Amino acid sequence: METFCFMFVSANFLLLFSKYSNATENITLSDSIIDGTNSTLVSKDGKFEFGFFSPGKSSNRYLGIWYKAIPTTVVWVANRRNPISDTSGILMMNSTGNLVLVSGNKSVVWSLNLNKVAQNPIVRLLDSGNLVLRDEKDTNSGNYLWQSFDYPSDTLLPGMKLGWDLKTGLDRRLSAWNNPDDPSPADFTWGIVLNGNPEGYIWKGSVKYYRSAPWNGLGNSGSPSLKENQLYEFSFVDNENEVYYMYNLKNKSVISRIVLNQTGYSRQRYVWNEETRTWKLYSSVPRDACDAYGLCGPYGNCIPTESPVCQCLKGFTPASPENWKSAFWSDGCKRNNLLKCENGEGFVKFVGLKLPDTTHSFVNRSMNLKECRVTCLQNCSCTAYTTLDIRGRGSGCAIWFGDLIDMRLSASGQDLYIRMSASDLEAKVEAKVKIPVIIATTIAIGFGMLIIGYYIRRSRANLREKTENKENDDQEQDEQPEDLELPLFDLIAVSNATNKFSIDNKLGEGGFGPVYKGTLEDGQEIAVKRLSRSSGQGLKEFKNEVILIAKLQHRNLVKLLGCCIQGDEKMLIYEYMPNKSLDNFIFDQMKGKLLDWSKRFNIICGIARGLLYLHQDSRLRIVHRDLKASNILLDQEMNPKISDFGMAKTFGGDQTEGNTNRVVGTYGYMAPEYASDGLFSTKSDVFSFGILLLEIISGKRSRGFYHPSRGLNLIGHAWTLWKEGEPSGLIDPFLEQSCNLSEVIRCIQISLLCVQQHPEERPSMASVVLMLGSEKELPQPQKPGFFKDRGPTEANSSSDKLESNSTNEITFSLEAR
């Protein structure tokens, strides 16, 4: 055992110190911190405190750092592996300036083991939470002989470096506590790996658990939590001296930390809420199943909205089809045609990917993308390449060798060029040639059919009307749901769960009928939609909603648990949403304050992802046709879920639009072409999303809003402010303190793009999701549809009446005769 030379103080001095000392600003050769005396070291601003503590329910004593105002939140522990069983611990300096922790029997529990002797050593706790030892003779205050930031525990604070000092070989990494009572290092760790292109990993033992992906100049590829926000600034340094990740706070008054949590196997970012005196979870990884390292194996692409989530990249098929069908995806995918390193091979661009594991990779910061392609093509082992830094026009070259693993589809992903065989590229070219021929032939046939169809359509119009009327008449018939493929709930069980449909359990009422809260025998909370006999909707809408939503699985769609059809009773059983619907918050003067901008932006992005799933990623192409604030439900964490599919329509094959004589929906949300001509498509949902976006930003209802002096409706008001260069005038006053102004204005621009007059001018939901997740310049919107100007006099005379009625949204249907 190494021998230490201690400078002990007399018992009388220790007694004197314990009697008169509490908090001090520094420790020198003549000072000590003694357990049991309430003596601590406090940072100058009073934010952090350093001393002895016992975690959770444990009686063991540790030396650590915590928030002075939040003493239960410990951010660093010195003797993690060696607790002291009583209060005999003493922290002092020996004659060489080495900081030493000893127990009652004078045995060394922990020390710094400095190689350099300090002439005038002093220990301070900085305002950042960093405990530092330096020589007072060294005039450079940044030269530390030792600092706690170099030896993190489970917490990363602003200004801390996670990563490597290449000169000394120091590897700064986090390790989780074993449990709340035991801060000793667990097997859950987070650090930076010095691959050809360095990136962060979380390990569980020696097994890779999560990978952050390489830094692309703006953030980690595929990590939306690092996008521009009002709280954090992120940086990644990779040079000959250091490789590390760091974050800093834009607002120094904010209290924030990142914690590696062993019990939940997650890395969580927290922000302190002073009003509630609680930590608010700001973000967390893993986010979903697709964040599990290598879930889909080589050349597998994880898509969280798909079922199954693992899909082979185009040009690849499952390496083990049987395992793949059984949801064992680790074997990944294999090429349809093997690479032969011959003339004709090239690359296929895959868009929006979290870049693959960089263990076998190479980077060159001076190459451009064209040079990168040539370099990869000339090396038979090279399988993919991309831009290293995506800022501006992009620069640098990143190249991969061997199999590509741990990819996922992400709104913050980037382009990856994957090497493909000559035969694969020929097939792709052939397909490109065939497409124009097919289109031309289709147009010719379609033109001829159009003439014939015109006459057929006229003769069938009356027949269609009769058919639709017959379907509506049939809604009272007691048809059994043979094709619903859903659990059937017993009427008695549902009645008991809702306390016999008690008025106290009633959550609200829509066009379908009343909705009740219920609790099943196993304790699960449910929401029950009960078809009213007087409802304008009937069995057709009931079956439509059941059949549609039973086949949909997405985190931003409400989950249907089953249905109940007995006698005259027809009910849908949903998961219960404790925060009810979005309109209860954004249009309420009190509840609106609970939704700051970060929550509203999260809701906006969630709705967009849910619509994208309906329009593009689900097994059916679905147009909702009644998207509005009251049909957006909020779960416990205020995550949005789209609900009410009674009006939805499905498209098959390549169909992109339809028309109807029966227009259904809600005033204030419907697209112009749908309201006037019955034409609906995914772009009519995009229009509704744009309206919803304006409502979330402004806190005003689209239906019934008219500007008091200009007489403009909400769309017209937003458009006028945009043209005048004053879009911030639309923002809900509740958001003034919390909003990221550039992000809000970007959302206003997206909303105006969504509500443009003509459907073809509006973006798809895929484009909307990308726009929300990136910083790229957006196109300028054109004049929107339903731009109303009633004139100041008319608006003033009737605005009160309209405002008073605006709380009642009307879902309606119009029959064309």
pLDDT digits (tens, 9 = 90+) for 667-686: 678 888 877 777 888 899 99
Q: Look at residue 452 and tell me whether its pLDDT is greater than 70.
A: no
User: According to the model, what pLDDT value does residue 20 have?
Assistant: 34
Q: Look at residue 552 and tell me whether its pLDDT is greater than 90.
A: no
Least confident segment among 69-78, 211-220, 253-262, 612-621: 612-621
pLDDT classification of 162: cutoffs 50, 70, 90:
very high
User: According to the model, what pLDDT value does residue 120 have?
Assistant: 86
* Terminal Cα-to-Cα distance of the chain (whole angstroms): 97
User: According to the model, what pLDDT value does residue 773 have?
Assistant: 85
Torsions phi, psi of 97, nearest 5?
A: 85, 10
Cβ neighbours around 275 below 10 Å, total: 5
3-state secondary structure 736-775: CCCCCHHHHHHHHHHHHHHCECCHHHCCCHHHHHHHHHCC
558-592 tens-digit pLDDT: 988 888 888 778 888 989 999 989 999 998 888 88
Range with top average pLDDT, 65-74, 217-226, 634-643, 719-728? 65-74
- The three-point CA angle 17-18-21 to 5° equals 65
385-394 tens-digit pLDDT: 999 998 876 7
**Residue of higher predicted confidence among 442 and 312:** 312
Q: Look at residue 749 and tell me whether its pLDDT is greater than 50.
A: yes
User: According to the model, what pLDDT value does residue 407 have?
Assistant: 96
Is 626 annotated in the active site? yes
The tokens for 547 are 């059949």
166-220 tens-digit pLDDT: 998 999 999 999 999 999 999 999 999 998 899 999 999 999 999 999 999 888 8
User: According to the model, what pLDDT value does residue 681 have?
Assistant: 87
Burial (CB count within 10 angstroms: exposed 0-12, middle 13-18, buried 19+), residue 431: exposed
Q: Look at residue 276 and tell me whether its pLDDT is greater than 80.
A: yes
Q: Look at residue 658 and tell me whether its pLDDT is greater than 60.
A: no
Q: Look at residue 519 and tell me whether its pLDDT is greater than 60.
A: yes
Range with top average pLDDT, 241-250, 509-518, 617-626? 241-250
Percent of the chain's residues with pLDDT above 90: 48
Please provide the average confidence, as pLDDT, over all residues in the chain. 82
Q: Look at residue 505 and tell me whether its pLDDT is greater than 60.
A: yes
Distances (CA, A) of 33 to 90, 92, 146, 458: 6, 7, 18, 94
What is 483-538 written as a DSSP string? Answer: T--SPBPPHHHHHHHTTTT-GGGEEEE-SS-EEEEEE-TTS-EEEEEE--TT-S--
Residues 6+ apart with CB under 8 A from 170: 150, 164
236-264 tens-digit pLDDT: 999 999 999 999 998 888 999 999 998 77
User: According to the model, what pLDDT value does residue 327 have?
Assistant: 86
Q: Look at residue 708 and tell me whether its pLDDT is greater than 60.
A: no
- The three-point CA angle 559-564-567 to 5° equals 160
CATH, domain 583-815, list 3.30.1320.10, 3.90.850.10, 1.10.510.10, 1.20.1600.10:
1.10.510.10
Cα separation, 146 vs 141, in Å, equals 12
769-802 tens-digit pLDDT: 889 988 888 889 988 876 554 433 333 333 332 2
The tokens for 343 are 């003339």
CATH of domain 491-575: 3.30.200.20
Cβ neighbours around 574 below 10 Å, total: 21
User: According to the model, what pLDDT value does residue 28 have?
Assistant: 86
The stretch 697-714 carries a mean pLDDT of 75
Residues 6+ apart with CB under 8 A from 430: none
**Residue of higher predicted confidence among 812 and 370:** 370
Residues 6+ apart with CB under 8 A from 268: 258, 259, 261, 281, 283, 284
CA atoms within 13 A on the CB side of 39: 23
Tell me if residue 148 falls in helix, strand or coil. Answer: helix
Distances (CA, A) of 5 to 28, 32, 108, 113, 625: 16, 16, 11, 12, 80
Cα separation, 757 vs 752, in Å, equals 10
What is 426-478 written as a DSSP string? Answer: HHHHHHHHHHHHHHHHHHHHHHHHHHHHHHHHHHHHHHHHHHHHHHHHGGGS-
286-313 tens-digit pLDDT: 888 899 999 999 999 999 888 889 999 9
**Residue of higher predicted confidence among 219 and 619:** 219
Indicate the DSSP class of residue 661.
S
Tell me if residue 183 falls in helix, strand or coil. Answer: strand
pLDDT classification of 554: cutoffs 50, 70, 90:
confident
Q: Look at residue 315 and tell me whether its pLDDT is greater than 50.
A: yes
Cα separation, 112 vs 100, in Å, equals 7
What is 598-641 written as a DSSP string? Answer: HHHHHHHHHHHHHHHIIIIISSSEEE-S---GGGEEE-TT--EE
Q: Look at residue 374 and tell me whether its pLDDT is greater than 90.
A: yes
User: According to the model, what pLDDT value does residue 606 have?
Assistant: 95
User: According to the model, what pLDDT value does residue 487 have?
Assistant: 78
Least confident segment among 109-113, 375-379, 563-567, 707-711: 707-711
570 beta partners: 565
Burial pattern 601-635, b for ≥16 Cβ within 10 A else e, equals bbbbbbbbbbbbbbbebbeebbbbbbbbbbbbbbb
pTM of the entire predicted model: 0.55
382 beta partners: 401
Cβ neighbours around 100 below 10 Å, total: 20
| Torsion over CA: 115, 116, 122, 126 (sign) | negative
What are the residue ranges spanned by the domains of the chain?
Answer: 1-151, 161-287, 290-420, 427-476, 491-575, 583-815
The tokens for 632 are 């957006």
Q: Look at residue 604 and tell me whether its pLDDT is greater than 70.
A: yes
Q: Of the listed 35, 583, 626, 685, which one is catalytic? A: 626
Cα separation, 172 vs 150, in Å, equals 6
**Please, are residues 634 and 585 in contact by the beta-carbon 8 Å criterion?**
yes
User: According to the model, what pLDDT value does residue 442 have?
Assistant: 63
**Residue of higher predicted confidence among 517 and 665:** 517
3-state secondary structure 690-711: HHHHHHHHHCCCCCCCCCCCCC
The stretch 643-666 carries a mean pLDDT of 64
Cα separation, 462 vs 638, in Å, equals 47
Cβ neighbours around 201 below 10 Å, total: 18
Burial (CB count within 10 angstroms: exposed 0-12, middle 13-18, buried 19+), residue 364: middle
pLDDT classification of 622: cutoffs 50, 70, 90:
confident
User: According to the model, what pLDDT value does residue 644 have?
Assistant: 84
**Residue of higher predicted confidence among 52 and 141:** 52
Question: For domain 1-151, is the CATH number 2.90.10.10?
Answer: yes
Q: Peptide bond before 308: cis, by omega within 30 degrees of 0?
A: yes
Cα separation, 362 vs 100, in Å, equals 44
Ramachandran area for residue 653 (φ above 0: left; ψ -120 to 50: alpha; else beta): left
Q: Look at residue 70 and tell me whether its pLDDT is greater than 80.
A: yes
**Bridge-based pairing state of the strands 569-575 and 560-566:** antiparallel
pLDDT classification of 12: cutoffs 50, 70, 90:
very low
**Residue of higher predicted confidence among 385 and 644:** 385
